[in-house]
Amino acid sequence: MGCSGSGKSTLARRLSGVLGAPHVELDALHWGPDWAAASAEELSARVRRATAADAWIVDGNYQSKIGTLVWERADTVVWVNPPRWRVMWRSLTRTVRRAATGQELWSGNRESWRGLLFWRGEESILWWAWTSYPGVQERYEAAMRDPRNAHLVFHRLRTPKEVERFLAALAPQDRTER
């Protein structure tokens, strides 16, 4: 979990490789062609199917549409929580790279240069990353204290070093004796 630009998708892909569990990207389940958003019912059904297996790595948020569906099925939550300046830098560089290369995201969708235009409000990924950051902080801090989440193990990773230590702790160690 984390705000846009936090590095959650990158970490989820890496976790998937380390743990051998499928990576489920909620953005891919949410966005259809021409940026058509799935309804809450459609997204919930897709998430249920994607998390039916014993192990998976879900990357994304969407609590406003799917509520606690993912967290009810999870045993661990990893909150990628870098400082706001790093989120903004990552959002900027990612958007420039995607717009310049025409990289396909989900269902044929691509980011455009409009994503950099802060004054375009919700059409701008930079605006979204900036304005959603405080709410994400409040929501996940509250979730960590919420007794309904007592079944979850929380990891809050704030720096690249913390991310690397977390991954290293999960990676199988070479135990051959020499």
Mean pLDDT of each 10-residue bin along the chain, 178 residues long = 93 94 95 93 95 94 88 93 96 92 90 77 85 94 95 96 95 57
Question: Which tokens sit at 8?
Answer: 């959650």
CA distance 170 to 177: 20
- pLDDT value at position 174? 53
- pLDDT value at position 57? 96
User: What's the pTM?
Assistant: 0.87
- pLDDT value at position 113? 81
- pLDDT value at position 19? 93
- Using CB atoms within 10 Å of the CB of residue 2, give its burial: 0 to 12 exposed, 13 to 18 middle, 19+ buried: buried
